[in-house]
Amino acid sequence: MIPDRVAARIAPLAPERIERIEEPSLGLLAYVVLDSTALGPAAGGVRTKAYADEADAALDACRLARAMTYKCALGGLDAGGGKAVVIASPELDRERAFEHLGRYVEGLGGAFRTAGDFGTTDADLAAMARHTRYVHTDTPNLAAAVGRGVLRCAEACATYAGRGDVRGLRVAVQGCGDIGAAVAEAFAAAGAEVLVTDLDAARARAVAERTGATVVDPSDVLFADVDLVSPCAVGDVIDADVASRLRAWAVCGGANNICTDDAAHEALHRRGVVFVPDAVSSAGAVVDGIGHTVMGLADRAPLIDALGATALAILEDARGHERPPVVHATRRARLRIDGASR
């Protein structure tokens, strides 16, 4: 049973299905959200995070699931959006809790296809996989797919701005986990000058050594003197104030929900900062995973590369328009979803 105060917080998003999973003996409290299955099974990762309260966790799950709905629609996938959020706590018996979550996912019969996300380890995914067929555990390949997709969308930014490609551009990558590392590697291989940062300094140094990147302080990365900022850690990193102080002319990242709200999107657009909606730029992993497991594509690279053309089309939609790119991306996604729902 979802508590009334939680139900009130998530009511405006109205997902297709939301389940509260509680097992006190395991310290487990989680939410699984299936936002939409109009185009196919709901796809989305498992996030493990300490939240201020349960309502924040449920709302985060709903927001992320909605983002996945749009991501799948814009990525041309036969899938909708979902998300699982596990509330991290000292009482969480991780192995048994994720085994329990795996059994729950299996019980959905394929309606929810999942993988890793922020805070969820390879060991957590392995525990789930002991009890479900519907969890993707190949984290390195999924991260590489995100890196490829972010690069294609960054190339769209360069084309839109008349810069050609990303060769020679200065790019700041925020976060050096699996996703951020793959994005930094993709930019470096394409000839960009890369700056990296992470709250774990050793992790940032390791990525820098592999890519030739320069390590910068986490507090400076969003305001670095660069062409493009690529947030690749947690979301909600750009609000209206941060947007007003960016020195970069473009934002294109591998994180979900990069902007905090509509005001942040509008502030970027008013300043002329080129922003690729993260429903497109971060879609490489779900394109790779769903393209393989649901759509049966042996080669998902062309579908990942097509994210660049989608990004450019959305940026062109927004050119000279008072509404920011995210509005045009949402419109494109809704057209496909609503068409399938008829």
Backbone angles phi, psi at 314, to 5 degrees: -65, -40
**Which of 124, 134, 129, 137 shows the shortest CA–CA distance to 98?**
124
Question: Which letter, b or e, does each residue of 12-46 get, where b requires 16 or more Cβ atoms within 10 Å of its Cβ?
Answer: ebebbbbebeeeeebbbbbbbbbbbbbbbbbbbbb
The two tokens of residue 49 are 């995070």
Residue 133 amino acid letter = R
Q: Is 71 a catalytic residue?
A: no
Q: Measured between alpha carbons, how far is residue 110 from residues 81, 103, 134 in Å? A: 13, 12, 6
If you ran DSSP here, which 8-state letter would residue 229 be given? E
Torsion of CA 197, 200, 205, 210, to 10 degrees: -80
Q: Enter the tokens of residue 9.
A: 């917080």
Catalytic residue among 63, 66, 71, 83: 83
Q: Which residues are catalytic?
A: 83
